[in-house]
Amino acid sequence: MSEVLAVENVGVELGKRLVLRDVNLTIDAGQFVGLVGPNGAGKTTLLRSILGLLRLKTGRIQVAGAPAKPGASRVGYVPQRHEFTWDFPISVQDAVMTGRTRRLGLFRRPGVADWRTVAEALDRVRLADLRRRPVGELSGGQRQRVLVARALALRPDVLLLDEPFTGLDMPTQELLGDLFAELGKEHAVLMATHDLAAAMHTCDRLALLNETVVAVGSPDQLREPRLWMETFGVSERSHLFAALGLSVETARM
Amino acid sequence: MSPLDFIADLFNPDLAFLPRALLIAVMSAIVCGVVGCYVVLRGMAFIGDAVAHAVFPGLAVAFVISGNLVLGGTIAGVVTAVLVAIFSQHRRLKEDSVIGVFFVAAFALGIVIISRAPGYAGSLQQFLFGSITGIPDRDVYIVAITGLVLLMAMFLLHKEFVAVALDREMARAIGLRAFWLDLALYVLVTLAVVISVQTIGNILVLALLITPAAAARLLTDRLAAMMLIAPLIGGVCALVGLYVSWSWDLPVGGTIVLTLTAVFLIAWLLAPRHGLLARYV
């Protein structure tokens, strides 16, 4: 499998403040990587850098072998749900089509092939039945799937998910987790999340981020509590370890 | 006065200003109705208000030097819109504060400029509250052509405007230039305001932008329908408002706005799915 996303020695400053330094991360097609870290660790900044929205201070980001650039790279972005104007009078399928706005180009309307792509994307997220419904009438989980379909409508090489589980109940999270795992079999998927348990459960690999990537590996490879303490700045008494099923005692021995 | 008398007056050669005012009022209401959909959906009502006030110094300068009002208003409105767009990039200032600073400043500048002109009080009132007399023939063509260009521009940029309005971050991520699209939208709003100012007046023009689109939003969940209903409401209310104003000798701007407000209230009460009645009956 080839490297679809390569983040190499990336450093980013936001208003003189160093947010990311020396970040390295590669993701292959068919890999589902969870990006975890505390608030302010730079998760969203890393996602925005991969989208090509931020100027890098150091390093470079390659998507499918070319530098990341808005409009040129095929990076599907699934933002946090509150970024989207849900009271906008638009149907599900038209909202998904907006993902292709740039691909269509100025002054051009969607053609048969575009509508077919949108229909496929809606099929993938199992929203085909609701395609004519106004987006304002959808539940939280359905809304999240609209955002995923909109990203898929671009036929992306890389899929970026920003906190997709926030504010959703357990059954909805589970269904979404399954969908992401399924998408992770074909695409390179990077998911920023605070839900560590879900990330441990569904992702192939986790990247622990706090300004830089502290560690990358499969959930099994990251059982060393020291890594989590370093990433999240917590003590060994933190309930984090109980939640993740990690034993601090064994680590001490 | 019956509608028939009104029609007779429209064709009375001694009242040639009346059909001109009617044409301009209806055309500008239609254009404002369409632009207003974006304004309402993006929650930019305050920007609409700002632009409406900001065209005033341009109109004043054009009036003082006997220049073209549409051109003067457009330049002033666009300059203010650009200033707002640029100053809003500053992190410490929120957009609404920047707007609050610039549009009042522009308005103040307009008042100072127009006070230098002879016949100050009369012309000021005409600018602020609109008038149906004194519109030159040429302006009908200017409004018609500007309006057509505006509608065309909105048709062409529609999907980009929608993408940015829905989700600005994603729009930027797929490579749309959100800043320039915002600026384009501000310019379109400015032009719509400028062509409407003469009949309805600088202060009341906001109602042409907001009220029809807001009423249309209550009536439908489809953007395409909204963008047809809003100009329809605007156009019909401009016609009815002018008729009422002419019959009872009321100020035309105020009458059109009150007609629009009545339609909005009816929509709010009776809208099929979101209206007050539908919810509680």
Asked if B9 contacts B15 with a C-beta cutoff of 8 angstroms, the reply is: yes
Write out pLDDT tens, residues A170-213.
888 888 888 998 898 889 999 999 888 888 888 999 999 999 99
Q: What is the mean pLDDT of chain B?
A: 87
HEC per residue, B32-48: HHHHHHHHHHCCCHHHH
- pLDDT tens by residue, B16-28: 889 998 999 999 9
Q: Judge: A101–B172 Cβ closer than 8 Å, yes or no.
A: no
- Per-residue pLDDT tens over the stretch B220-252: 999 999 999 999 999 999 999 999 999 999 988
* pLDDT > 90: percent of chain A: 60
**B191, two tokens:** 């032009």
Mean pLDDT for B127-145 is: 83
Q: Which residues lie closer than 8 Å to A144 by C-beta, 6 or more apart? A: A78, A81, A164, A168, A172, A176
Q: What is the rounded CA–CA span in Å between residue B40 and residue B220?
A: 14
Q: What is the spatial distance between Cα A35 and Cα A82, in angstroms, rounded to a whole number?
A: 20
Question: What's residue B96's pLDDT?
Answer: 78
What pLDDT does residue A253 have? 43
Are A98 and B166 in contact (CB < 8 Å)? yes
Q: Which of B38, B41, B92, B167 to mutate to test the interface with A (most CBs of A within 10 A)?
A: B167
Which residue ranges form the domains of chain A, and what is each CATH number?
1-74+156-222 (3.40.50.300), 89-153 (no CATH), 223-253 (no CATH)
Nearest CA to B222 out of B10, B37, B27 is that of B37
Cβ contact B160–A95 (<8 Å): no
One-letter amino acid of A203: C
- So what's the pLDDT on residue B91? 65
Q: How many domains does chain B have?
A: 1
Parent domain of B260 = 3-280
Can you tell me the distance from the alpha carbon of B138 to that of B141, in angstroms, rounded to the nearest whole number? Answer: 5
Q: Pick B200 or A159 by higher pLDDT.
A: A159
How far apart are the C-alpha atoms of B59 and B86, rounded to whole Å? 23
pLDDT single digits (tens) A39-79? 889 999 999 999 999 999 999 999 998 998 888 889 999 99
Q: Which residues pair with A205 in a beta bridge?
A: A33
The backbone torsions φ and ψ at residue B272, rounded to the nearest 5 degrees and listed phi first, read -55, -40
On whether the CB atoms of residues A56 and A10 are closer than 8 A, the answer is: yes
Give the max Cα distance, chain B: 59
The residue-averaged pLDDT of A146-164 equals 93
Q: Which residue has the higher pLDDT, B264 or B68?
A: B264
Q: What residues of chain B lie within 8 A of the CB of A70, using their CB?
A: 172-175
Residue with tokens 């400053």: A13
Q: Is the pLDDT of residue B127 over 90?
A: no
What percent of chain A stands above pLDDT 70? 96
Write out pLDDT tens, residues A24-46. Answer: 999 999 999 999 999 889 999 99
State the average pLDDT for chain A.
89
Q: What residues of B are in contact with residue A52 (Cβ under 8 Å)?
A: 173
Say whether pLDDT at A131 is over 60. Answer: yes
Residues of A in contact with B41 (CB under 8 A): 85, 88-89
pLDDT, position A237: 81
User: Which pair of structure tokens corresponds to residue B171?
Assistant: 């729009």
- Is 70 exceeded by the pLDDT of residue A252? no
Q: What percent of chain B has pLDDT over 70?
A: 98
The total of other beta-carbon atoms located within 10 Å of residue A171's CB is: 9
Which residue is it, tokens 């610039």?
B102
Q: What is the mean pLDDT of residues A87-114?
A: 91
User: Which range has the top average pLDDT, A180-189, B47-56, B152-161?
Assistant: B152-161
Among chain A, residues having any CB pair with chain B shorter than 8 Å are 15, 51-53, 69-72, 75, 77, 79, 83-85, 88-91, 94-95, 98-99, 101-104, 106-107, 109, 134, 136, 150, 154
The one-letter amino acid code at B120 reads Y
Q: What is the pTM of this model?
A: 0.89
What pLDDT, on the 0 to 100 scale, is given for residue B225? 95
Residue B7 belongs to a domain with what CATH number? 1.10.3470.10
